[in-house]
Structure 1
């Protein structure tokens, strides 16, 4: 089998639907943040609807340097990049069979997304001391996206490995909801330790 040939024997419809759903959710969150950024640029003292209390809000994130890690607002990255899982999902539903190199590049992009999310989580908790609602939506969908795409590529052999590893990740694929939940709990625990979100989120 060519290294560039697709390895899946049937279309992963469940994966396609998942990619479209998380892509739409992530894109809408990025779009909302972009609109808020435009509002701040036009009216710096504007009260954004996402600013609920001193702990829950997006204004502080958008105004920080961490909110523009590449020199322009992070939500623009989201608007551009969240289109990718939507396109891949739609392509699969349309019958497309992507080659191994494509899946590896897609996985690399998803890896970049989770690295950025981890950076933003740490920044929010340990530097800005604020939880951005739309950012948290992005975290919520990026975490399962990373695990799902990575486990899928490992079990299908799109990431080159041996049969034993493929079999392990084929079995572990059903663990993704549990792994995702554990990740959510870890973030929630760190948030509670650092910013006491349980009592402060509702003030």
Structure 2
């Protein structure tokens, strides 16, 4: 196959996946270590407990913090390895089958759904803002947009040529789309928790 006919390598997507994976994994690792610290030192405050509003302890010790019977950060320790490996493989020139991309995308569908639920629980039930949780939210949101638009523009998810074209054009707008989501979360936090008055 000639160089001109070779499929384009999604370098930007790959670099983002690696970056998001590293950041997300570090957040999960940090939360896991905080949970271990609490288990070994009952009643001890976490290092990310800055105030009644901004803290990790309430989230970690709540039922929402162990939805599947074990601390949620353990999910992140395993799951965030996937984007790092996929990103590295893409940079190396790997090409994945359609079924692989579908499963990878479904992983992010689950992730964004889980994060939206955790945000709602944090704001409307627990009334706290967990620093490391927010780091996770911050990378899951744009990662979902990136992977979704990538599978659409590459035709992994069947659609009309126009859909692929629109997805390709929207890719450059991912930062703005993510920022808009951050603003929505910030406004909800302010309305629900009056964050500014507690800074």
TM bin, normalised by shorter chain, reads over 0.9
Q: Equivalent residues in 2 for 1:97-176 (5 A)?
A: 97-176=95-174
Whole-angstrom distance in 2 between the partners of 1:172 and 1:16: 17
Q: Secondary structure at the match of 1:109?
A: helix
Alignment of 1:194 with 2:189, yes or no, is: no
Gaps of 5+ in 1: 1-7
Find the counterpart in structure 2 of residue 20 from structure 1. Answer: 18
Whole-angstrom distance in 2 between the partners of 1:198 and 1:108: 36
Q: Equivalent residues in 2 for 1:5-84 (5 A)?
A: 9-84=7-82
Whole-angstrom distance in 2 between the partners of 1:186 and 1:56: 18
Whole-angstrom distance in 2 between the partners of 1:175 and 1:47: 40
Whole-angstrom distance in 2 between the partners of 1:186 and 1:47: 30
RMSD of aligned alpha carbons: 0.9
Whole-angstrom distance in 2 between the partners of 1:51 and 1:167: 46
Whole-angstrom distance in 2 between the partners of 1:20 and 1:103: 16
Q: Equivalent residues in 2 for 1:173-184 (5 A)?
A: 173-184=171-182
Gaps of 5+ in 2: 1-5
Moved over 4 A (4+): none
Q: Give, in angstroms, the shift of residue 199 of structure 1.
A: 2.1
Q: Give, in angstroms, the shift of residue 76 of structure 1.
A: 0.1
Q: Deviations over 1:6-54 (max 9, x none)?
A: xx92111111110000000000000000000011111111121100000
Q: Deviations over 1:101-157 (max 9, x none)?
A: 111110000000001100110000000000000000000000000001001111111
Higher mean alpha-carbon deviation, 35-44 vs 126-135, is at 35-44
TM-score normalized by structure 1?
0.94
Q: Secondary structure at the match of 1:36?
A: helix
Find the counterpart in structure 1 of residue 3 from structure 2. Answer: none
Q: Give, in angstroms, the shift of residue 197 of structure 1.
A: 1.3
